[in-house]
Amino acid sequence: MTEQANLNSKLGHPERSEGSHDPILLTPGPTIVPPEVRQALGRPMVHHRTAEFRAVLQEVESGLKALFKTSELVLILTSSGTGAMEAAAVNLLSAGDEALVIQGGKFGERWREICEAYGVKVIAVDPPWGKPLPPRLISEALRQHPGARAVFATLCETSTGVAYDLKAIRQAMGDCEALLVVDAISGLLAEPFDMDASGVDAAVCGSQKGMMLPPGLAFIALSPRAWEAAKSSRLPKYYFNLLKARASWEKEMDTPFTPAITLLVGLNESLKKIQGQGGVDRFVQRHQGQAQALRQSLQALGLQLYADPACASNAVTAVKVPDGVNGKDLISKIKKQGITVAGGQGKELSGKIFRIASMGVVGSAELDRCLQALTQALTELGWKAPSHG
């Protein structure tokens, strides 16, 4: 380790891959912010209504189009990812509308909670947690509720480590009028995602997952059909009025309120990094390979995966806490070795699983160190892999 890296690590500022004892953040948000992005985040402040900042906004917006794979405008909001979820609901629906919500985990449930908070009638579709979604659950629910205005789905359900098949969901919707609204917050850049080709009507994302940024930015893109629906939506909105945001973008490439300037400068850097590494498709491929290798290594240790391999996500891997091991002790023993992984969420999964994120810059070096720390922690806790006979 260099002297500087050593000092950084003592100060709690890890320089990645410089030594085996630097802390590594492997949680499903926030994620590691790479050095070049952190440097961009530290640049002197600029004013947002200037030519230099508009140039950044323009570059960022076109970079976001490439990530979402859409020709539509991608709006930038100042909030965590949930703000963009709320923006989707309040701009597309009216009180009393019916909407299907695919649950299957904590984030699917969040769609339901947002809808209910605004008086939308929710028809819950409940795939078993950790398992694929049978498409007939969608077609049957829509047959019973043909007037449903929207289907709310999640690309990667971060609480269970499941990636849902959006094309199958779209297909199961048949020719019904409902809008397909997708939370791609943790899935973007790790799962294949093509907003336009998959017939997605609204997609939302946040900054602190695959985009390698701190939390604080959210993104939303709408299809032409969704923009039409926005015109007749009557749910209350002010800060997240997307028609207003679009109007100020189209008028003078502006945001209605002060944007998170610093984060946008950082985002421009991270989008360049993604481009420099071959673009979003290369990113997704790398994540696919890595997540698959991680799952194999975990199983080779004798551990069991929580999500069915048929739908396991590339962004986050959920692992069952083995019998006889306390989940909280396991995570804190891993943390003592400098690796932060996440536990399970809510009463359903707390203490029962732990989650390893492989988003953004996370590579095999980080995942190998995580596996070493995990192996040591399990040994210290006296766990022995069951023998396979």
For residue 184, the minimal CB distance to ligand PLP (Å) is 8
Shorter beta-carbon distance to ligand PLP: residue 185 or 294: 185
Could you give the 3-state DSSP secondary structure of residue 233?
coil
Q: Is the peptide bond before 236 cis (omega within 30 degrees of 0)?
A: no
Which positions from 97 to 116 touch ligand PLP by CB under 6 A, shown as an x/- string? ----------x---------
For tokens 């030519």, name the residue: 51
From the list 137, 189, 127, the residue with the least C-alpha distance to 159 is: 127
Q: Choose which of 8, 22, 25, 29 interacts with ligand PLP (CB under 6 A).
A: 29
Q: Choose which of 31, 70, 103, 154 interacts with ligand PLP (CB under 6 A).
A: 154
Identify each DSSP E strand in the chain by its residue range: 24-25, 74-78, 98-102, 121-125, 150-154, 156-157, 162-163, 179-183, 202-206, 217-222, 316-320, 339-340, 342-343, 353-357
Cα–chain center distance at 157: 8
158 in contact with ligand PLP (CB under 6 A): yes
Q: Is 303 left (phi over 0), alpha (psi -120 to 50) or beta?
A: beta
82 in contact with ligand PLP (CB under 6 A): yes
214 in contact with ligand PLP (CB under 6 A): no
For residue 114, the minimal CB distance to ligand PLP (Å) is 11
The DSSP output letter for 322 is P
Shorter beta-carbon distance to ligand PLP: residue 53 or 68: 68
80 in contact with ligand PLP (CB under 6 A): yes
Q: Choose which of 9, 27, 70, 186 interacts with ligand PLP (CB under 6 A).
A: 186
For residue 230, the minimal CB distance to ligand PLP (Å) is 21
30 in contact with ligand PLP (CB under 6 A): no
For residue 244, the minimal CB distance to ligand PLP (Å) is 22
Q: How many CB atoms lie within 10 A of CB 8?
A: 18
* Stretch of residues binding ligand PLP (CB under 6 A), selected from 12-20, 74-82, 161-169, 344-352: 74-82
Are 199 and 180 in contact by the 8 Å Cβ rule? The answer is yes
26 in contact with ligand PLP (CB under 6 A): no
127 in contact with ligand PLP (CB under 6 A): no
Q: Which residues between 32 and 71 bind ligand PLP (CB under 6 A)?
A: none
Cα–chain center distance at 141: 26
Are 161 and 318 in contact by the 8 Å Cβ rule? The answer is yes
Q: Which residues bind ligand PLP (CB under 6 A)?
A: 28-29, 80-82, 107, 154, 156, 158, 183, 185-186, 206, 215
